[in-house]
Amino acid sequence: MHEITEAALARAQEAGASYADIRVIRRQHEGIQVKNGKVESLAGEEEYGFGVRVIADGAWGFASSFQADREEAERVAEIAVRIARASARWKQEDVALAPEPAATGVFESPLEKDPFEVPLEEKISLLLDADRILRQRPEVKVAEAEMNFFRDHILFASSEGACIEQIKIESGAGVSATAVEGEEVQRRSYPCSFGGDYATAGYEFVENWDLPANAEWVAKEAVELLHAPQCPPDTLDLILEGSILALQVHESCGHPIELDRVFGTEASYAGTSFLTTDKLGSFQYGSEQVNIVADATIPHGLGSFFYDDEGVVAQRVQIVSEGLFTGYLSSRETAARLGLERSGGAMRADGWNRLPIIRMTNINLEPGDWTLDDIIGETKRGMLMQDIVSWSIDDKRLNFQFGCEVAREITDGSLGKIYKNPTYTGITYEFWGGCDAIASEDEWRLWGIPNCGKGEPGQAAHVGHGVSAARFRNVRVGLMEEQA
Ligand SMILES: [Zn+2]
């Protein structure tokens, strides 16, 4: 690996690059999906390659290859410099990078059980156990259970002298039951919808969720929803549980604080942002209860790492401080443009053949001092919602609508009947402005989302969100509004 990095960096500089970096990546993925008693898909993939990024004549160039040898590294480095020179003709100004000390070392994420060493039969049998329990109720027509494991071995080196080797293993799993009766279709998931929960951890993470032991209530609730009333339109106090609140943080905070979106250089997937730079340090994003950090240092977070993909050390950046908007996710280039002393370390690429772009790390809502029971107990008229079904949010990340799997009525501090097809809508800063109770550290946990989409060509990022349940005052619920 080191022979390739040295060759590429030397040739890029000979060809005139004022800066160069290279990432050599080996990525393994194993995915197992079980559906209605059968193994639906079994994926075992491995890819290996490298990407060279340079600055020449004040502009960026990038090239990559899956043929990882010395000659190819030199050829690719030259192409990257030629691309930079060609791009320089249309540059508005020279690229400037915020300074970063050149780091060296080997870093490995902690785990107990390497998932790639666990026998395939053992993993399949766990999924089939859960699947069998899900299908014990005849109304459950589709039972699904899945696991995914990733292993990334990344070597980063730069012309500034950085040489960083990182090995990271990620694991995730989940189940869902879809119950059908006539035209009615209802679904419940565990531990959360869309393939389950993920972490930078080993197979122990999957075992801890105990999918078979939870399959029974998942199936039972899916069937109960078939006969539940529709969520009625209303305006009331809304309590969101962690699995849905994680996505609320993702869409209404995580994406709008990406500094490349703010500067308009990345506008895919409902890009741009209402959090323009004039608002930094002065805009009231939420209530005084709301503290949000971007923390890449937290153990086991899916968005945790030691160094980002331009060699910047993992950091904890305050994004919202007692409601006030105070920080962005940044890169070395955007940090320099904003006048920050240092990048916040949020540049990551989805594989060897993609340029790093600004991605979320772990965007966490800091815990409050309530218990969920006390929040419910002190809610006169409200609803508790769980697990995401659908989401939409406008270009600037202001107006949103989320659909959930289930809502539970709250009257005078007690949970009542369940409703199906619940939705809630809001405007980002009004919604967070109405946040008046957040559950404590005891009920706080990190959720991992392995499929955040951004960029052209598209890149999927693995990101995390630490949250506990929280209450939001006067939220409109139950209105299914079609949005474009
Ligand atoms: Zn996303």
Residues 6+ apart with CB under 8 A from 441: 367, 468
Residue 484 has pLDDT above 70, yes or no: no
CA of 68 from ligand 1 middle (Å) equals 31
**Residue 420 carries which DSSP code?**
B
* pLDDT tens-place string over residues 43-63: 999 999 999 999 999 999 999
CA of 463 from ligand 1 middle (Å) equals 8
State both tokens at 310.
């331009």
* pLDDT tens-place string over residues 131-175: 999 999 999 999 999 999 999 999 999 999 999 999 999 999 999
**Residue 378 carries which DSSP code?**
T
Residue 120 has pLDDT above 90, yes or no: yes
Phi, psi of 246 (to 5 degrees): -55, -45
Q: Are strands 104-108 and 163-181 parallel, antiparallel or unpaired?
A: parallel
Q: How far apart are CA 275 and CA 361, in angstroms?
A: 18
CA of 459 from ligand 1 middle (Å) equals 10
CA of 105 from ligand 1 middle (Å) equals 31
Q: How confident is the model at residue 191 (pLDDT cuts 50, 70, 90)?
A: very high
pTM of the model: 0.96
**pLDDT of the residue at 481:** 53
CA of 260 from ligand 1 middle (Å) equals 14
What is the percent of the chain where pLDDT is above 90?
94
Nearest in space to 391 (alpha carbons), one of 350, 349, 428, 336: 428
CA of 361 from ligand 1 middle (Å) equals 11
**pLDDT of the residue at 268:** 60
Q: How confident is the model at residue 185 (pLDDT cuts 50, 70, 90)?
A: very high
**pLDDT of the residue at 220:** 98
State both tokens at 437.
């109770």
Mean pLDDT, residues 443-461: 94
CA of 458 from ligand 1 middle (Å) equals 12
Residue 480 has pLDDT above 90, yes or no: no
* pLDDT tens-place string over residues 401-423: 999 999 999 999 999 999 999 99
**pLDDT of the residue at 266:** 65
Mean pLDDT, residues 186-191: 97
CA of 103 from ligand 1 middle (Å) equals 29
Q: How confident is the model at residue 482 (pLDDT cuts 50, 70, 90)?
A: very low
State both tokens at 83.
């691309």
State both tokens at 319.
């994004």
CA of 359 from ligand 1 middle (Å) equals 9
CA of 183 from ligand 1 middle (Å) equals 32
Q: How far apart are CA 56 and CA 59, in angstroms?
A: 6
**pLDDT of the residue at 483:** 40
CA of 360 from ligand 1 middle (Å) equals 8
Residue 412 backbone zone (phi > 0: left; psi -120 to 50: alpha; other: beta): left
CA of 245 from ligand 1 middle (Å) equals 14
Are 237 and 436 in contact by the 8 Å Cβ rule? The answer is no
- Delineate the domains of the chain, giving CATH numbers in brackets: 2-226 (3.30.2290.10), 234-477 (no CATH)
